[in-house]
């Protein structure tokens, strides 16, 4: 599903009105109807329910005013709280306000009627936030700032119009916003609805197409998409009835060291559970025996000089999970990786071994890098805070710089391709904030590469499936969820996507 940023969204609106001949008032009416429907879903029967509409001066406020009329018709008791004087309203909101004056609304101004506003809010069943739309950038200013700060302390459910006021549509930045139970977003979803911290304020996201033609979104400028079940199902490999292990990929994994044998086990088992035909794990001699005992479906070998040649025989190689930072390991990786011509998934200590050497990173042939924010910071020479402030930009910068597919393991996970395309994941949960989940992801992506997906497809599908496995595992509880639970649920995740 395409994500459309604020500037591109302005062009979409202009095209709908100017080229397609859809009057702005019709779009606002349709938006108001969608908001009223969502409000009814949240509250139940609107009759006698007290609804407070928080109205800004732009088209977002116009959508709210249209919704107010629809809710009034359904029997709701509606109060309009105007953040600013009606004389400052834009054309769309001004027209809606003129229409509303013929209806029996209670109309209050925040700056003039604060006591009355507070009394009304204390009795409300729902707030509808129509203050600031997708054009908002920066910090929330007065008079809206004091209104939001006051309402943050009132325990009333919130429905946001298009995006919670105070959240930037492109990046999800916010310094102040109300936590919405749900957000009705118009025509197409915006990146900031899915990127933190803004994603923490959106609640359930409801898409309202406003009865516009599909071509409006299909032809819109965008380099960003949501990773959805439909997208993943479309590219997942289909296994024929006469399949054999040789058809499903020979995966070679370099992972594990003293103290980090678990990373090797999780990575290799994830590759098996994600459908790889044959998995061979190369690990340090000191953890060889424990891994042989624990990894019954995986062939386990010691890392030696001779194994440098062995890696060339695999269909795909994954390197780095728990490999360690010993000088001899770093040297081994720096010698091995440039020799590989097959697809490579490079994670953790594999990335650390090459950090600061852009020439070597660029020279690797078919590569997927899977850094967490700290590793990405080292690779780009930035702080972790800078990476987290704009993970999409960081992932795209890395993908272009190294000509690699970059899987940035933040929340949500971001996948960036060298051509400038970026995907934002929609699966996963806070229970997955535990050691080893990244190792599972590396093995999952490697298995999908071995089954014939290209680099971008394998990265996107691997991210989605690993998150879905986490969601299935979390049905038994999020707290205490372990990385091994993801491995266990990978087959069910694959099955769920394929059977829909």
CB of 348 within 8 A of CB of 321? yes
With 0-12 / 13-18 / 19 or more C-beta atoms within 10 angstroms meaning exposed / middle / buried, residue 345 is buried
Closest CA to 191 of 432, 463, 420, 391: 391
Could you tell me the two tokens for 234? 């479309």
Judge whether 62 is annotated as a binding position: yes
Judge whether 347 is annotated as a binding position: no
* Pure H helices in 88-135: 91-100, 114-122
CA-to-CA separations, 466 to 428, 437, 441, in angstroms, rounded: 8, 8, 6
| Residue 224 three-state SS | strand
Judge whether 489 is annotated as a binding position: no
The whole-angstrom separation of Cα 406 and Cα 388 is 15
Question: Cα-atom radius of gyration of the chain, to the nearest Å?
Answer: 26
| Residue 425 three-state SS | strand
Judge whether 411 is annotated as a binding position: no
Judge whether 129 is annotated as a binding position: yes
In sequence order, what are the beta bridge partners of 108? Answer: 81
Judge whether 223 is annotated as a binding position: no
The whole-angstrom separation of Cα 461 and Cα 447 is 11
Which 8-state DSSP code applies to residue 17?
Answer: I
Judge whether 175 is annotated as a binding position: no
| Residue 116 three-state SS | helix
Judge whether 322 is annotated as a binding position: yes
Closest CA to 274 of 248, 247, 301: 248
Judge whether 246 is annotated as a binding position: no
Q: Is the N-terminal amide bond of 316 cis, ω within 30° of 0?
A: no
The whole-angstrom separation of Cα 459 and Cα 466 is 11
The whole-angstrom separation of Cα 50 and Cα 120 is 8
Closest CA to 464 of 443, 487, 444, 439: 444
Judge whether 162 is annotated as a binding position: yes
Judge whether 467 is annotated as a binding position: no
Closest CA to 320 of 360, 282, 347: 347
Judge whether 64 is annotated as a binding position: no
With 0-12 / 13-18 / 19 or more C-beta atoms within 10 angstroms meaning exposed / middle / buried, residue 39 is buried
Judge whether 63 is annotated as a binding position: yes
**What angle separates helix 59-73 from helix 91-100, to the nearest 10 degrees?**
20
Closest CA to 448 of 465, 471, 423, 425: 465
Judge whether 313 is annotated as a binding position: no
The whole-angstrom separation of Cα 415 and Cα 448 is 15
**Binding site, annotated residues for (6S)-NADPHX:** 59-63, 133-139, 162, 263, 322, 372, 439
**Binding site, annotated residues for AMP:** 438
**Binding site, annotated residues:** 59-63, 129, 133-139, 162, 165, 263, 322, 372, 438-439
**Binding site, annotated residues for K(+):** 60, 129, 165
């Amino acid at each position: 599903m395409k994500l459309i940023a604020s500037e591109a969204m302005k062009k979409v609106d202009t095209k709908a009105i100017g080229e397609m001949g859809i009057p702005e008032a019709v779009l606002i009416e349709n938006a108001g109807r969608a908001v009223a429907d969502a409000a009814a879903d949240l509250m139940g029967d609107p009759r006698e329910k007290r609804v407070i509409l928080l109205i800004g001066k732009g088209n977002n406020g116009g959508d709210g005013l249209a919704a107010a009329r629809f809710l009034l018709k359904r029997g709701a008791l509606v109060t309009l709280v105007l953040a600013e004087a009606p004389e400052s309203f834009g054309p769309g909101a001004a027209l809606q306000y003129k229409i509303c004056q013929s209806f029996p609304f209670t109309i209050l101004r925040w700056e003039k009627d604060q006591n009355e506003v507070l009394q009304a809010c204390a009795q409300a069943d729902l707030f509808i936030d129509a203050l600031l739309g997708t054009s908002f950038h920066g910090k929330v200013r007065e008079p809206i700032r004091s209104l939001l700060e006051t309402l943050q302390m009132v325990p009333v459910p919130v429905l946001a119009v298009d995006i919670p006021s105070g959240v930037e549509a492109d990046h999800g930045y916010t310094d102040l916003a109300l936590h919405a139970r749900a957000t009705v977003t118009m025509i197409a979803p915006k990146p900031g609805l899915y990127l933190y911290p803004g994603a923490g304020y959106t609640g359930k996201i409801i898409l309202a197409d406003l009865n516009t033609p599909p071509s409006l979104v299909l032809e819109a400028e965008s380099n960003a998409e949501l990773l959805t079940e439909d997208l993943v199902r479309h590219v997942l490999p289909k296994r024929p009835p006469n399949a054999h292990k040789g058809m499903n990929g020979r995966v070679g994994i370099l992972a594990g060291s003293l103290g980090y044998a678990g990373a090797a086990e999780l990575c290799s088992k994830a590759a098996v559970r994600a459908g790889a035909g044959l998995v061979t794990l190369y690990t340090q001699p000191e953890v060889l025996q424990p891994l042989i005992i624990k990894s019954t479906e995986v062939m386990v070998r010691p890392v030696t000089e001779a194994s440098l040649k062995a890696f060339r025989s695999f269909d795909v190689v994954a390197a780095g999970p728990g490999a360690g930072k010993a000088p001899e390991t770093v040297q081994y990786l720096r010698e091995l990786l440039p020799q590989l011509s097959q697809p490579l998934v490079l994670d953790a200590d594999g990335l650390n071994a090459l950090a600061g050497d852009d020439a070597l990173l660029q020279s690797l042939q078919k590569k997927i890098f899977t850094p967490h924010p700290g590793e990405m910071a080292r690779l780009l020479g930035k702080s972790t805070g800078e990476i987290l402030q704009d993970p999409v930009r960081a992932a795209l910068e890395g993908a272009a710089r190294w000509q690699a597919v970059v899987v940035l393991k933040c929340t949500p996970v971001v996948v960036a391709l060298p051509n400038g395309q970026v995907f934002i994941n929609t699966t996963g949960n806070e229970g997955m904030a535990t050691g080893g989940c990244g190792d599972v992801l590396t093995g999952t992506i490697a298995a999908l590469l071995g089954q014939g997906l290209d680099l971008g497809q394998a990265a996107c599908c691997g991210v989605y499936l690993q998150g879905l496995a986490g969601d299935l595992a979390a049905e038994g509880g999020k707290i205490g969820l372990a990385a091994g639970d993801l491995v266990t649920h990978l087959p069910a995740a694959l099955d769920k996507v394929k059977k829909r």
